[in-house]
Amino acid sequence: MSPPRSAQHQAVATQIAAGVQADMASLLDRVVRRIRREVPSYGRTDIVGIDELRSSVADNVDHIIKGLTGADPSDLRAPRATGRARAAQGAPLVEMLSAYRVGFAEVCSGLVATARALPGAPDDVLVALGGPLFALFNEYCDAAIVAYRDEAQQMVRAHERERAVLVEAILTGPAGAGPLWDVAHALRLPLDGAFMIVAARADLGHDPMPRVESALAVHDIRSVWRLETDLGIGVLSLTDRSREQSALAVLDKHAGGPVGVSPVFGELSQAAWGLRLARLALEGRPDGGVGVEQFRDRPLNFLLAAAPHAALETARVVLGGLLALPPDDRDLLLTTFETWVDAGGSAQEASTVLFCHPNTVRYRLRRLESETGRRMTHPADAAELVAAARAWSQLPHSTTDLGSR
């Protein structure tokens, strides 16, 4: 981009620029009025104040006029400053560009009016100025867009860092009700209601559920998330408990790996407890399993979660020789037993769930009694078997937990 090249054109261009500068106050008034009238966000003083807008317009117009008369065309400080300021203020990018369009249109009108007032000014000077002016407009818009997006990205990163700290405060439990209220307010979460905690296995540097927040929002479920080295952790706020199944369905659809979910709880201050149960549910999934596993909302499960290591050691003792069976046999007997317990001790109902004959259920239960040395007709033995089976199915364990015959 360059101004008119002939000496005559250069002299006339300089005169035109000087005339515009002499009437700068009037030009700035026109630009500011048009921008505030035609661009909605600029008409609101809570986004861009009048004095700030006038100062920004003055800087940009001054650089434009100087650019038309031979100043360094690479000096784009004014549009870059404008782009960063508007991003920080939350003005829409498209409206910032509209303001530039209005400003350049007024500058062009000012140049034409000034040129026509000069005696003997050749018309081809204005034609020659048109190319540089158009090029300046493009360069200014490009510079402002780049600066706007750069500032917006920095703001997003800063917001994400701040948000991660707030989510961490929710999950670790800030001291006192006051700080918790402040954190909840900042994250737009209620203190009471219906909540779930999600723990999703993540690869280093990758979000395991990148689009789940918007998918949950469709079901009126607000969520906030934090990414750790190996986990993506979310706090879900349900409108009410009836949305639990909708939340689980969305999570399962977006799961790219194993996901653990806490039971629904009623107070945000219980989030740390919920995270512990979500982690237990996640760790209890089979290796490589994909999908959602929710920690079952039962009092016995909560008791087991309170002392998981002791619960697993007790399970090893109670289940005894059962744990030394081949995995398929062991899991079949445990599944049959838990189904029978859930069916209220009815072999008939359990057989319906398991798609087998009631006598098959009874046979498997006798095998479990034989392997463990405990009788289900004895209340104490039955209670120990239920607790041991629940501990084995709900808590994460390894091969070191297996007994030997």
For the stretch 343-359, pLDDT in tens is 888 999 999 999 999 99
Distance separating alpha carbons of residues 199 and 224, to the nearest angstrom: 12
**Same domain, residue pair 262 and 286:** yes
**Same domain, residue pair 199 and 278:** yes
User: Angle 389-338-382 (CA atoms, 0-180°, nearest 5)?
Assistant: 65
Q: Which pLDDT belongs to residue 154? A: 81
**Same domain, residue pair 126 and 196:** no
Q: Which pLDDT belongs to residue 194? A: 92
Specify the pairing of strand 258-261 against strand 291-294.
parallel
Q: Which pLDDT belongs to residue 249? A: 93
**Same domain, residue pair 182 and 290:** yes
Q: Which residue has the higher pLDDT, 69 or 164?
A: 164
User: 264: how many CB neighbours lie within 10 A of its CB?
Assistant: 20
Q: Give yes or no for residue 361 having a pLDDT over 60.
A: yes
Mean pLDDT of the chain, nearest integer: 81
**Same domain, residue pair 285 and 319:** no
Q: Which pLDDT belongs to residue 222? A: 92
**Same domain, residue pair 31 and 140:** yes
Of 41-50, 200-209, 299-308, 333-342, the range with the highest mean pLDDT is: 333-342
Q: Give yes or no for residue 303 having a pLDDT over 70.
A: no
**Same domain, residue pair 187 and 285:** yes
We report the CATH number of the domain holding residue 346 as: 1.10.10.2840
- 184, two tokens: 């909840």
- Asked whether residue 346 is domain-assigned, the answer is yes
Give, to the nearest 10 degrees, the angle between helix 347-354 and helix 327-342.
130
pLDDT in tens, 159-173: 777 778 888 888 886
Domain count, the chain: 3
**Same domain, residue pair 282 and 236:** yes
- Asked whether residue 212 is domain-assigned, the answer is yes
CB 329 within 8 A of CB 319: no
pLDDT in tens, 71-93: 565 678 888 888 888 888 888 88
Q: Give yes or no for residue 403 having a pLDDT over 60.
A: no
Q: Which pTM was predicted?
A: 0.52
- Asked whether residue 341 is domain-assigned, the answer is yes
- Asked whether residue 171 is domain-assigned, the answer is no
Residues β-bridged to residue 312? none
- Asked whether residue 168 is domain-assigned, the answer is no
Domain holding 384, by residue range, is 304-401
Of 202-206, 347-351, 380-384, the range with the highest mean pLDDT is: 347-351
- Asked whether residue 170 is domain-assigned, the answer is no
**Same domain, residue pair 267 and 363:** no
Q: Which pLDDT belongs to residue 286? A: 56
**Same domain, residue pair 283 and 315:** no
**Same domain, residue pair 13 and 148:** yes
DSSP string, 13-45: HHHHHHHHHHTHHHHHHHHHHHHHHH-GGGG-T
**Same domain, residue pair 253 and 333:** no
